Amino acid sequence: MKDKLFLLFYAAAVIVVTSYHNIMFLAGFLVVMFVLSGAQFLLLFRKAFFAVVFFNSIISVSYLTVSLIQGHPWAQYIVLINLRVFLLTFMGFFIINRVNLFKALSFSSTMTFILVLAGSQILTFKKIYDDFAFALKSRVIKRAQTKDLHNYISSMICFFLNKSVNNSREVTQAMRSRGFFGD
């Protein structure tokens, strides 16, 4: 129940933060999040900062430039958007660390199931993906040509595609064997 409430709170907070445009309110909200994050403050702050810095810098700098040329006020918008984006990102990281997503989504067995199956395969695939990259590095003596890279990417994608299709068959059979489908 705790996880469901947390996720619900997160969804509501996202809607509020994107609907209410008062800078003082957003700043206050951010301070509350900072306090709640406690010992994790620095870690979350760094993570959120690096997650948004690229996109936000581009938008802020171009908005500033355009406004200066056209003589519009700019401070209000730049403060508002950066504050809100940072708040949402920080809050996202804060909540995700605390919610057991599988518990939060347990009202839908389909959703939980897809997430468990996909999540575990993603972790396996990521490991194999790293090995593919290592194996290429290990085998390339001079420099791989574009043709080799195309072959490499194709065979890697085929491997994963084949593996996915086989896994989906095997998982189905395992589920049947465990009496999942009631036949």
- Using CB under 8 A as the binding rule, the residues of this chain from 163 to 182 that contact other proteins are 163-165, 167-169, 171-172, 175-176, 180-181
Q: How far is the CB of 174 from other proteins (least distance, A)?
A: 9
| 148 binds other proteins, rule: CB under 8 A | yes
Interface residues for other proteins in 6-25 (CB under 8 A)?
Answer: 10-11, 14-15, 17-19, 21
Minimal distance in Å, beta carbon 159 to other proteins?
5
Judged by CB under 8 A, which of 27, 36, 43, 61 binds other proteins?
43
Q: How large is the angle between the packed helices 23-37 and 75-98, nearest 10 degrees? A: 30
The DSSP 8-state label assigned to residue 144 in this structure reads: -
- Who's near 181: CB < 8 A, 6+ residues apart? 175
What amino acid is encoded at 50 in this protein? Answer: F
Q: Please report, for residues 7, 35, 52, 118, 180, the alpha-carbon distance to residue 95 in angstroms, rounded to integers and kept in the order given.
A: 8, 14, 17, 22, 33
Please say which residue, 15 or 32, places its beta carbon nearer to other proteins: 15
Count how many Cα atoms sit within 13 Å of the Cα of residue 123 in the half-sphere of its side chain: 5
By C-beta, is 41 or 125 nearer to other proteins? 125
Site for other proteins in 64-83 (CB under 8 A): 72-74, 76-77, 80-81
